[in-house]
Structure 1
Amino acid sequence: MIGVILGVTSAVSIGTNIFQGIQNNKLRKQIEQLKAIIANQQNDIEELKKQMQALKAWAFKQKYELSKEIKYLQKNMASNKETLRRLERSAA
């Protein structure tokens, strides 16, 4: 009887160990998948940061170019207003 109990206990123990081994393999696979996902996300974050820096540089350059254009147009408009005043005085 004790031999049967020990045999059943050993079989249960072996079955439990096999089941735990399978569970551990599944967990290892999940861990590896999550590590890969995290690595990809980190790469995505780095790439987005680079793009953001490029956009900041582009926006700065655009702001500078637009500012130059505004100054040019304001200067040109002032010149045109002065020409208009002279022409209106000449016509009067």
Structure 2
Amino acid sequence: MLRIGLLLLCIPAVALMAGFMMEQSDIQACLASGGSWNYQESLCDLEAKHPFIPFMVRYPILVNGGMLLSVVGLFMTIIGLYKPSRVNRTE
């Protein structure tokens, strides 16, 4: 239970950060070229200006689902740490 909990605690957070940072890289390249990022279509627009739309608003299921999995992983990790381990000792 401890290993699964640690995986559920870490993997969703890393996946969310990776998705956010990949998108931020595209946005930064667009802004550096003088464009405006269209957050609804995920495209660089060199003519019109577009309003900022947060990552959470654009991908609510991804963010909320990832955070829910992390919380489940946290509880599984806590339970796994407090639960006595079964060690077979042959003396």
TM-score, normalized by length of structure 2?
0.35
More strand by share: 2
TM-score, normalized by length of structure 1?
0.34
Q: Which has the higher contact order (CA 8 A, sep 6+)?
A: 2
